[in-house]
Structure 1
Amino acid sequence: MANSNQKPVKLSNPPKNPNNVQGTKYYVFNETGNIMMSSTDQNSAVISDSVRDVFAEVSVVFAAMTKAMTTSIDPATKKPYQLYDYEPLRQIIDGSGMFVQVTEESVQYSSESVGVQFSKELIEALLGLATGTGELAFASAMVQSMGNAGLNISQNSSKTNAEIGNIIFVCEYLLGMPVISALVVHLDTKKNQQTLSVGPCVKESSTSTTLTMQKDTYLFVTPKFIKEYASDLMSVETSAEYSQFIDYLKGIISGKSIITAVTLSDGATNAPQALVSGTTYIMVGENFGGDTGTLELGGTSLSVNSWSDNAIEFVPRTAVTTSAVIQLTKANGKDVSATTSSAYTVNAQPS
């Protein structure tokens, strides 16, 4: 602990050292512009397989986020969320545990450019990336799509949250070390409605445009429970683990209870489908609620030892010979909140 009587050391700028040289970075975007790859090494062949796997996992997570958002129902409109709706994006960022916020800025962007040039300059300003004469082919489509989504959201009187947003993953390979961050830009469509209605991204006449936005930067941590996705991206759509991951993200958006596993008492080893009476098991998931509810297997109650929002410790006390799913009902709930994906039986404890 610092000594309160100790005199502070005066901080001064270090002398210039010719041996300290900033590395050159090379970059490329995917087709939609939502993933940026950057490296200090121009030769991609030197990137190790483990780093490639980490970067490939970002593609899978982005695909799962997109599908979860566009297949979740917006309670305000009773229709699926739009791709650029900020509300489900924020819920995934806040609830998934994959994002650690490092900066938060309120930014204002003004420009007299129009059309494609406006879109390119806006993306450059947000990324802090001067591409010079280089093209950002995706910029126009991205900005125009966000503008159209903003108009739809701002004109919907049933929406209390009228923000649009977008996320760009930045995958950097810096001197042999992979670093992944996520840039999230969102703006209030009500406050920017006039600008959005003018449509600077498509308008070709001279105009001065000002947008007020929030720019948040996150450190992105790949989820440990996604296994081997990067090695076979073409097969993830049929993967049970991938579908489970999408359901997990949808549960974050909707607040719906999601059961991801039933394990032994260690919380890691999957329980057999033939449970044993008197043995302790743990149900793992999300949105179980803080108050104790009930668990049933084939109409037989399971004894609950402890109950939290993401884990339930339980013990079956009675043999159940007919295979059935475990049903979870939250406290004060009349209907079943969630069921296991697998069916179970309960065997009597060996004498």
Structure 2
Amino acid sequence: MSEDEHDENSIESYPEEERASQEDSEEKEIIEKDTIPHFFPTYRINRKLYPIPIILAVVFAGILAYFSVIAGVKIEGGYFSEAEGGAAAGLLNGIIFTAMAVGSAFVMIYFVKKKGIGILKYVFGFSIGFITFFQTWFFAEIIMVVIFNLFPYTENLQLIYNIADYAILVPSIAILSIYLLYKYFTTENVRVKNFIILYVSFLTGAILGVIMPLWTTLTILIGISLWDLFAVLYKKGPIKQMIDLASNEQQLDEDIKQKLESGEVEYDTSKLEIGIGDLAFYSMLTSVALIITGNLIIMVLVAIAIIIGTGITIQGLKRNKILPGLPISIFLGIATMLISWGIATFLV
């Protein structure tokens, strides 16, 4: 008898619990986030599809990194050689690059306050044009080297290579760069903008992954991730200031803040904006994982860790207007790379 009563009560309670859950969901107020200018270098996408730009950036950067390995590219970036100075040199390189990023961010916010938010359109636009030209040329030459190496070397082959490079490749890339720069300045089409952001991000991630040695890479990624925390979360952080100025944010009253903290209200997270820097550093880490370990599985595991980290960050956007996209994803990615690399080395 008691078991029957218990079962009956349990069955009847389920609809009540579901109704209560639905009522809570319906009562929860959704706060729309202020839109930011279309010229901000962010990839805009539906929340459910957020892994897509990350996967695309990782895959294309990985392909370019792979071609670089086949072509035998050996360029050590950084101000100090890790071959001579080891981890200490990498640490110094990372500190210098992070300091440069910090300095440039404060310079930008200074000019924004002096000249207005519109100046960023030209800063971002011409930076994208510059990166598009030189980095596309860099990887196009690498792909050409791989193709031409399939044939025995002759003077005629070298002549064909030079003509293809300087008479065809350079003008074509220049036209492409100018066209993308023009579209960046003139169009508000989300798909066009997303293409430009994705293209520049995986080019940047690939080239950083190719030229930066291990310790320099790790120091840069950790340093930039920590800087990202400050720049986005601190009220005087340059990225937070730029977003606030761009969206004309009004200060939330204390009642709304308390409701956000308690979960009574939440921000709308149906649409996301992933920064170009986030995609670039994600693809940098996966490219490094592929080049240094030479293991495709490790690269895939790192990419999965990054996607999981991004998903965790997105959950926090319900109570925060903006969050740094790097720290959780990068730290999970680095940990995954080192652990899986260690396991793979031990097993071999």
TM-score (norm 2): 0.20
TM-score by length of 1: 0.20
Structure with the larger strand share:
1
Q: Which has the larger radius of gyration?
A: 1
Q: Which fold has the larger relative contact order, with Cα–Cα distance below 8 Å and residues 6 or more apart in sequence?
A: 2
